[in-house]
Chains A and B, each alone.
Chain A
Amino acid sequence: MFLSMNWISDYVDLTGIDKLKLINKFSLSTAEVENEIFFKGSDIKGVVVAEIKEVNDHPNSKKLHLLKVDAGDGKLTEVVCGAPNVRTGMKTAFAKVGAQIGEIEITPRELAGYVSNGMCCSEKEIGISDNHDGIMEITDDVKNGTDLKEIYEIDDIVFEVDNKSLTNRPDLWGHYGIAREFAALAGRELKPLETVDLSKYDNLPKVDMKIEDNLCQRYSCMQVRNITRSVSPVNMRIRLFYCGMRAINFLADMTNYLMLEMGQPMHAFDSRKIEKIRIKRFDKPFTFKTLDGVDRNIDENTLMICNDNTPVAIAGIMGGLDSEIVEDTTTLTLESATFDAVSIRKSTVRLAHRTDASMRYEKCLDPEMTVTAIARFIKLLTDIDDKVEVVSSLTDEYAVKYDKINLDFDKKFVDRYTGIEIDNDTIIKTLKSLGFGVEYENDKFHVDVPSWRATKDVTIKADIIEEITRIYGYDNFDVNTALAPLYPVRPAEEKNVEEKIKDILVKRYSMHELHSYVWAYYDEYKELGIEVEDNIKILNATNPNIETIRKSIVPTQLCQVRYNNSYAPDFAVFEIGRVVDGMTADNLCNEKKKLTITMYSKTKSMEELYIQLRDILCVISDDIKHKPLAFEKMQATHSYQHPKNLNAVICDGKAIGEMGIIHPVVSKKVDKKANIVYAEIDINDFADIKNDSIVYSEPSRFPGMEIDVTFVSSVFAPIGNAVREENCKWIKDIKIVDTYVDDNSKSITVRIFFSDSERTLVKDEVMKYVDSIIERLEKQGISLKK
């Protein structure tokens, strides 16, 4: 919304105050002002009123005329002008030689063989409207040579307030409300609005009007006739233009002017079309042509202004084409009303049609304002056009009153909230300057919230704190730390685990942490041959490609790996992110936090890569939980899983995730030549595992003994089990030192390390255990390598 300093100054005397500083203060205390401030008229100099004394045809041009103008300097100046509306006796805006119009300085200039000593200007050239049809028309009563700025408010400071920062301030949607803020910020008096005492029309007949639906809170109207004027006064048009509105005709300009002044939207109907005003909704949908000529679908929730049963306007949004003021309109009915804000907002959304009026109604306008707005309208109307006659008395129905709000609080409350000392006098003065009623008695403030703040903005005591502090100025606050007792803070285990995993993967294994989206990407999955698995969906996704929430991060990570497949011959990525694993019993999403790792290699064999991943997982578990992991074969259930080499990862007897290699079909689509393995671990399940404490064992001072044995076996597990089952306290470690695969069998050489803390062992006592292990394995069909 654009605001004019001239307009604001109508209601508060700001002489002697730095306007820019004040605007900045407004931005810090009330609502955000956009950076660019417009100094209107600053680039217009030396434009005066001149009378055209003579108009002659230009011999070399059909469009141009040769003029002699009287610019009040006692001589006639010769000017070449191309405007179509030139005529003898007309007064216009004239830029003399030496004048400035925007970036142009006026100099004598030759036009088709004749010198022009100055320029007759259109309103657009002076920057006061967008009218460029001809040169400006100025009334006869102004003396020639008068500087245009003396008669018109061309000089002005205009600034823009971000509409979004006004959403909760219905009172700031017009200049008068803004002026109230400026008055409070400048410590100056707010002048009352000049209005007409409407009671003088009380003996005139009333308008036939009835609110039949409480979505209309208040409806005030009045009838006037005999408006003869069609063009608005220049200063009114300038203000409208500077505030971003085009002048249309006097009546339309008047309603717009009132709206920009008071924030109250008004509407004028042709009285012939609205003899019985009824405000109501209809049972059935229908179409309705608004005054912009568009047919709109009205449903049973949309409040309408009607002439008995014929709709003539969409309440609070836009008038109808049929009831518009036309050529032969003599009497018109002025509407000034308030409507239920939510209803207007919903209708606006339904109709997809937001207007200057609906924008204001959505904010919960002050219902006390409707009558004042009419009194102000009649005042301006009769001041400007003295032939206007008021033909009805004020007709006003107040169906839904706003709740009057009184708030009581004490100084302690203010002190506690602010944390600084603001004295009683400042509190009272501030609130009064904003229109609040304040009484102070027995250490208690009793505050009456004014109607223009009470509709939704100020409802609780904390709101009063804002009023006091924003005018006090946040820049003036003493800044203090809080005085609160201290207690230790223990971080959640899950958070610990997450951060440690990130460090291990990044620092020890050179992996890269990535983020991906929480939904499945249909297109990209399809390209990789990954099925989008059924899961909870987003109802209103604007992009159908992303409507299903992912069940696993693995597919999204595979998409990222594919995108990076030229990054390096070997790389690994990971993410700790969310997935939804179906629904809980009470129909809520079963959200899980997962660690997902994908390793990509063009140099390592699949087995090397897979075992490396296994080791990484074991290191994570050993480092964070001091616990070993176990692995169990799993059945593939997802399209990206390879049916072989798919293992459940088990810690403390509980499955915490899985690791596997990527299905060859998918893997080849990610990269034809690379080996790809993945793991996905449930972070919460892993975090929940009890941390084993570190058990220190003193290294033996006596030498130990290493025994190597080679078994024919395809897997290590039974050998490891057999050693463990031996339950020998001397066995400290078992390692694989060699594996050998020939055409029909695989053999594994293990090295068993024996040691005692008290003495050196002798071979015979150790061999007893080795023999027992061999025997144990032979029973299972695993023999020694010959």
Chain B
Amino acid sequence: MTDKTSQIKQEFFEKLKEVKDIADLENIKVQYLGKNGTVTALMKDMKTLDADMKKQFGQVVNQLKTEVSNAVSDKFEELKKAAVEKEINSMADFDVSTPANLERGSYHPITLVQRECEKIFKSMGFTVEDYSEIVTDYECFESLNIPKHHPARDMQDTYYLENGQLLKTQTSAAQNAIYKKYKDALINEGKPIKAIFPGRCFRNEATDACHENTFFQMEGVMVDKNISISNLIFFMKTMLSEVFRKDIKVRLRPGFFPFVEPGFELDISCLICGGDGCPSCKHSGWLELCPCGMIHPEVLKAGGIDPEEYTGFAFGLGLTRLAMMKYGVKDIRDLNSGNLKSLSQFTDDE
């Protein structure tokens, strides 16, 4: 019996050497350890032996069974490892040096600068207002202290429509409506008016690289009991530093606009040279950026707000100009060109 077991053992280990894959191994496993396997048969054969022999032989067979099953599971592990190794080795190295496929959409650059400005003002509690592009003479001029025959009207070449309305020449055209919308909350609840209103404006003029008949502005107003010039300078400086993401120097010069008094032209330190003077600021170190001022008492009155009790500031920012400055767009006409070669370059920029 013992000879038989050693023969079986020898045979088994020889066969195991020949095993190439898991399927072969499964076969051998069945051959030796299966229901009708060789080792299983030995166990069955034991039933015929007497008690002493049974004990002695039982130990030998059990040992054989353990050795065989251990060898099978070791082999199994080995084969599994080899298979993983093989899979790893057969994997190709991919070429990531090829140009990436950047298929994606794009925002209009005006959307990007507008969102940026809106974000800054929203964070300071300003509402964002929308307004129509076609307005009345009252909205665009009369309510802004620009009566008929006022020379300021000459400065703005207006597109007039057949019905007497016009394409708004400035976002200020929304001021009156905004004052009327919020004046009750201001007067009765003490809620200051803080609003910005971006929008598209139109001027009847010939276009070239620097002039467009269709462009975007963003107007902002703040009205409360004690709004001052000092506050105006603060908000302008803060906003512009946020927009350009660096500390911006600002300076005010007197400027004449009928809807503000005092009125200012606001200059910022040149973004290119920082104020030392360069060709882009015509060597002055400054860039004229936005008109602003304290809201004219007549304009507040037209909006139903008592100028003796309330003051406020207003400013107008050229979003189109800002977008051009920010992204280095040299020809203003590119913005309305619809040319995807230009405009597809503007990705999310928040």
Q: How many residues of B contact A (CB 8 A)?
A: 81
The answer to whether A35 and B284 have CB atoms under 8 Å apart is: yes
Q: Does A478 contact B (CB under 8 A)?
A: yes
Inside 8 A of B214's CB, which chain A residues have their CB?
A: 517-518
Q: In the complex where A489-B127, A492-B130, A499-B115 touch, is A474 in contact with B251 (Cβ < 8 A)?
A: yes
Chain A interface residues toward B at CB < 8 A: 27-32, 35, 164-165, 167-168, 342, 345-346, 362, 416-420, 460-463, 465-466, 469-470, 474-475, 477-487, 489, 491-492, 494-495, 499, 502, 505-507, 509-518, 536-542, 549, 559-560, 563-564, 567-568, 571, 573, 578, 580, 583, 587-589, 591
Q: Least Cβ distance of A41 to chain B in Å?
A: 23
Task: Name the residue of chain A whose CB is nearest to the CB of B282.
Answer: A35
Q: Does B294 contact A (CB under 8 A)?
A: yes
* A466→B336 CA distance, assembly (Å): 39
Chain B positions 64-102 with a Cβ under 8 Å from a chain A Cβ: none
The answer to whether A505 and B251 have CB atoms under 8 Å apart is: no
Q: Does B32 contact A (CB under 8 A)?
A: no
The answer to whether B340 and A567 have CB atoms under 8 Å apart is: yes
Inside 8 A of A345's CB, which chain B residues have their CB?
A: 149, 151
The answer to whether A419 and B128 have CB atoms under 8 Å apart is: no
The answer to whether A419 and B167 have CB atoms under 8 Å apart is: no
The answer to whether A560 and B338 have CB atoms under 8 Å apart is: yes
The answer to whether A475 and B133 have CB atoms under 8 Å apart is: no
Q: In the complex where A513-B111, A515-B335 touch, is A462 in contact with B262 (Cβ < 8 A)?
A: yes
A-B contact count (CB 8 A): 224
* A29→B251 CA distance, assembly (Å): 11
* A288→B256 CA distance, assembly (Å): 36
Known interface pairs A168-B256, A460-B261, A539-B160; 18 further A-B residue pairs with C-beta atoms within 8 A, sorted by A's residue number: A28-B252, A29-B253, A418-B229, A419-B228, A419-B229, A463-B261, A470-B254, A479-B230, A482-B235, A507-B104, A509-B105, A514-B338, A515-B336, A516-B336, A517-B336, A567-B341, A580-B134, A588-B134
Inside 8 A of B125's CB, which chain A residues have their CB?
A: 486-487, 489
* A580→B344 CA distance, assembly (Å): 28
Task: Name the residue of chain B whose CB is nearest to the CB of A467.
Answer: B262
Q: Least Cβ distance of A676 to chain B in Å?
A: 15
Task: Name the residue of chain A whose CB is nearest to the CB of B335.
Answer: A515
The answer to whether B107 and A513 have CB atoms under 8 Å apart is: yes
The listed residue (B105, B254, B284) touching A511 by CB distance below 8 A is B105
Chain B interface residues toward A at CB < 8 A: 103-108, 110-111, 115, 122, 125-130, 132-134, 136, 149, 151, 155, 158-163, 165, 167, 190-192, 194, 200, 202, 204, 206, 214, 222, 224, 226-231, 233-235, 237-238, 251-256, 261-265, 282-284, 294, 296-297, 311, 335-341, 343-344, 348
* A485→B194 CA distance, assembly (Å): 11
The listed residue (B230, B254, B341) touching A418 by CB distance below 8 A is B230
The answer to whether A474 and B159 have CB atoms under 8 Å apart is: no
Q: Least Cβ distance of A616 to chain B in Å?
A: 12
The answer to whether A506 and B126 have CB atoms under 8 Å apart is: no
The answer to whether A518 and B133 have CB atoms under 8 Å apart is: yes
The listed residue (B105, B238, B262) touching A505 by CB distance below 8 A is B105
* A92→B17 CA distance, assembly (Å): 124
Q: In the complex where A167-B151, A489-B125 touch, is A35 in contact with B229 (Cβ < 8 A)?
A: no
Task: Name the residue of chain B whose CB is nearest to the CB of A491.
Answer: B128
The listed residue (A30, A477, A509) touching B254 by CB distance below 8 A is A30
Q: In the complex where A509-B105, A513-B106 touch, is A479 in contact with B262 (Cβ < 8 A)?
A: no
The answer to whether B134 and A483 have CB atoms under 8 Å apart is: no
* A515→B224 CA distance, assembly (Å): 36
* A120→B134 CA distance, assembly (Å): 67
